[in-house]
Chain A
Amino acid sequence: QQQVKQSPQSLIVQKGGISIINCAYENTAFDYFPWYQQFPGKGPALLIAIRPDVSEKKEGRFTISFNKSAKQFSLHIMDSQPGDSATYFCAAHSGSARQLTFGSGTQLTVLP
């Protein structure tokens, strides 16, 4: 039972391009939507997060767009750099369950 569906599984982008990763959820009780970045051999690290009462949040080159009615959210990486090459996970937090549910991950490769 996958409560958070993430796509695409892999993404290749040229340097300077825009990377877009999409996620969809089913549980309307989710109250917090973070994105994590993971480099090989490392644990996931919090990149950016949004609450459902906000439609967009921007931090530097990273932006989350949130569509509550469609139960979808996405990560946009502007001016993608080779150093952004990593695996990205979306997640959703349930306050009542006190836990994060993760998407399946997207392996991003930014070509120089």
Chain B
Amino acid sequence: NAGVTQTPKFRVLKTGQSMTLLCAQDMNHEYMYWYRQDPGMGLRLIHYSVGEGTTAKGEVPDGYNVSRLKKQNFLLGLESAAPSQTSVYFCASRSTRQGYGYTFGSGTRLTVV
């Protein structure tokens, strides 16, 4: 039982490059989330999904896109990376049948130079 798996774990991008972060969960959870974590700012919600084929904007969605074509996967895309997107990105999931407990992945550390 892997829980929530994020790939890659580390990445360095040049300004203007694009990339996709992958989140996979094997718990059959309905809801999935992408957060970014910056020093002194806690975790801020980027986008989330309440089910396959549905996505919604969170607190800081600008510069990111997401897709959830399969229930177990939630992809976060950066079309044109900027230094302000240097952060640690966390994916989380939760079940609608087990309260509000979120399960987090181990994070992706992204540096944009």
Binding site for B on A (CB under 8 A): 4, 6, 9, 32, 34, 36, 41-46, 49, 89, 93, 98-105
With A49-B100, A89-B42 in contact, do A99 and B106 touch (Cβ < 8 Å)?
Answer: no
Q: Give residues 12-55 of B contacting A (CB, 8 Å).
A: 31, 33, 35, 40-45, 48, 50
How many residues on chain B are close to A (CB under 8 Å)? 24
Chain B residues, CB < 8 A from A100: 33, 45, 100, 102
- Tell me if B90 and A43 are in contact (CB < 8 A): yes
Indicate if the CB atoms of B45 and A43 lie closer than 8 Å: no
CB closest residue in chain A, given B41:
A104
- On whether the beta carbons of A104 and B48 are closer than 8 Å, the reply is no
Cβ of A34 and Cβ of B41 under 8 Å apart? no
**Is B48's CB under 8 angstroms from A99's CB?**
yes
Residue pair A102, B43 in contact (C-beta under 8 Å): yes
CB<8 Å pairs between A and B, sample of 27: A4-B42, A6-B42, A32-B99, A34-B101, A34-B102, A36-B104, A42-B106, A42-B107, A43-B90, A43-B92, A43-B106, A43-B107, A44-B90, A44-B102, A44-B104, A49-B99, A49-B100, A49-B101, A89-B42, A89-B43, A98-B50, A99-B45, A100-B45, A102-B44, A103-B42, A104-B40, A105-B40
Contacts of B59 in A (CB 8 A): 101
- Residues of A close to B107: CB separation below 8 A: 41-43
Known: A32-B100, A43-B90. A98 touches B31 (CB 8 A): yes
Contact at B104–A104, with CB atoms within 8 Å?
no
A98 touches B48 (CB 8 A): yes
Q: Are A104 and B42 in contact (CB under 8 A)?
A: yes
On whether the beta carbons of B58 and A99 are closer than 8 Å, the reply is yes
